Amino acid sequence: MSDITLEQAQKIVAKAIEKATEIGTKMDIAVVDAGANLKAFARMDGAWLGSIDIAIKKARTARFFDMPTGAIGELSQPGGPLYNIEHSNGGLITFPGGLPIVNSGGEVIGAIGVSGSTVEDDHTVAKAGIEA
């Protein structure tokens, strides 16, 4: 199993911070490795304290299922095939802002989770991070 390096994780966090600053929001940004362990984290000055846990859980959720958290959210609505999944694995977050990180060979090496604004902003900042 390949894993994200610290250098890659820090570069992703830096790009996410850059995007959050550009759009005028304050974010908590978490990057986990292939094993869903926290690899890098930043809390921008003034970002919500409550979003720390959400960012980490978004990253873990994206890695556990190797898909965007927003996609899991669509599947976990009442009547959906993953209804109530957010109660598993010590608590998951199933709304946008978490994305898997894939290497050039197509292998998932980690994930990013972002929280602190609207889910649209969270997703935009996470996407900017993984494009680093």
Q: What would the mean pLDDT of 103-131 be, rounded to a whole number?
A: 97
Residue 87, in any domain of the structure: yes
pLDDT of residue 12: 98
Looking at the structure of the chain, the number of domains it has is 1
pLDDT tens by residue, 64-98: 999 999 999 999 999 999 999 999 999 999 999 99
pLDDT tens-digit profile of 16-58? Answer: 999 999 999 999 999 999 999 999 999 999 999 999 999 999 9
CATH code of the domain containing 22:
3.30.450.150
**Residue 96 pLDDT:** 96
CA distance to 4, 9, 29, 40, 102, per residue, from 109 (Å):
5, 10, 17, 14, 6
In a domain, 92, yes or no: yes
> In this structure, is residue 31 part of a structural domain?
yes
Looking up tokens 């996470």 gives 126
The predicted structure's pLDDT at residue 121: 97
pLDDT of 1 strictly over 90: no
SS (H, E, C) 74-109: HHCCCCCCCCCHHHCCCCCCCCCCEEEEECCCCCEE
- pTM for this predicted structure: 0.94
Residue 39 belongs to a domain = yes
Q: How many other β-carbons are positioned within 10 Å of the β-carbon of residue 79?
A: 5
- What pLDDT does 116 receive? 97
Does residue 61 lie in a domain region? Answer: yes
* Domain span at 47: 6-130
In this prediction, residue 27 carries a pLDDT of: 98
